[in-house]
Amino acid sequence: MQNSSFRIFTDSGCDIAPARLSEWGVSLEALTFRFDDSEKEYTNTDMSPKEFYEKMRAGGIAKTAAVNTESFATAFEKALAEGKDVLYLGFSSGISNTYNAARIAAQELRAKYPERKIFVIDSLTASAGEGLLLWFAVQKANEGATIDEVAAYVETLRPSVCAWFTVDNLTYLKRGGRVSPTTALLGNALHIKPVMHVDDNGKLIKVATAHGRKKSIAALAEKYKETAIDPKDGCVFISHGDCPEDAEFLAKLLLEQNGVTVSLITDVGPVIGAHSGPGTLALFFVGNKR
């Protein structure tokens, strides 16, 4: 990141690989997860997505934990003590308590460092949707924008970042209380796939259903065509839960239907995948409405 007067922070809810975040000049705070049969806690970098989803397919149940206030305070204070301002862009408050922990840490640190600026921004999205908003923030900083300008830009852009999802198995959404046991049972038996999006409040909600996996993927492509501000030349991210072929199929549909090339295909990491399961496929772009 070219602007060295401030540091940008995010969390592992963004599903952007740490190596890429390092290239962007972004610091990462990690959520954790563990399986029910073990007390050991992991971060996304401790276990590959492939291994994680294999464990889930074998019946493993994973639970996640938000980044705590102390971790944020330690990370933010290091930058503040170096004379840098801080901008944190975080996992949707409609899904995780991580943003709130960062907000509390910032409140405490503002009293200690009154001369410094600390912005804590709720992305109101998840996975590579958070990552896409982060990417735009980094580009703005690289143009030489001040921290105030980057924060204002992100908050203006935020309502336009569209996040559309589908899953291959409703069992995992049932565990999280997002669908009823009856809906999950019937949906799995009849191969009915939900089409969901992250709403204006940052919550994941079901919008429609499709019969079969291919149709649910086609529905994601159709949502892009319907709402993308720049369908032929927009920035598009895709994330997937160990289903790279489906991600490539979606990218192909977008290219064939709109002439747009997907900018990034990334994994849905364990902290998101614990709730959505293997076979999750998600599409992110800037649209005229969420």
Which of 197, 185, 62 has the alpha carbon at shortest distance from 129? 197
pLDDT digits (tens, 9 = 90+) for 144-191: 999 999 999 999 999 999 999 999 887 767 676 666 665 655 666 657
- Are 132 and 161 in contact, with CB atoms under 8 Å apart? yes
Which of 265, 206, 208, 277 has the alpha carbon at shortest distance from 241? 277
Residues of the chain with pLDDT under 70: 1-3, 172, 174, 176-190
- Are 28 and 18 in contact, with CB atoms under 8 Å apart? yes
Question: Rounded CA gap, 262 and 257, in Å?
Answer: 13
pLDDT digits (tens, 9 = 90+) for 128-153: 999 999 999 999 999 999 999 999 99
- Fold adopted by 160-286: Hypothetical Protein Tm841; Chain: A;domain 3 (3.30.1180)
- Are 130 and 14 in contact, with CB atoms under 8 Å apart? yes
AA identity, residue 276: S
For the domain with range 6-158, which CATH number is right: 2.30.30.100, 3.40.50.10170, 3.40.50.300, 1.10.10.10? 3.40.50.10170
pLDDT at 187: 60
pLDDT at 182: 58
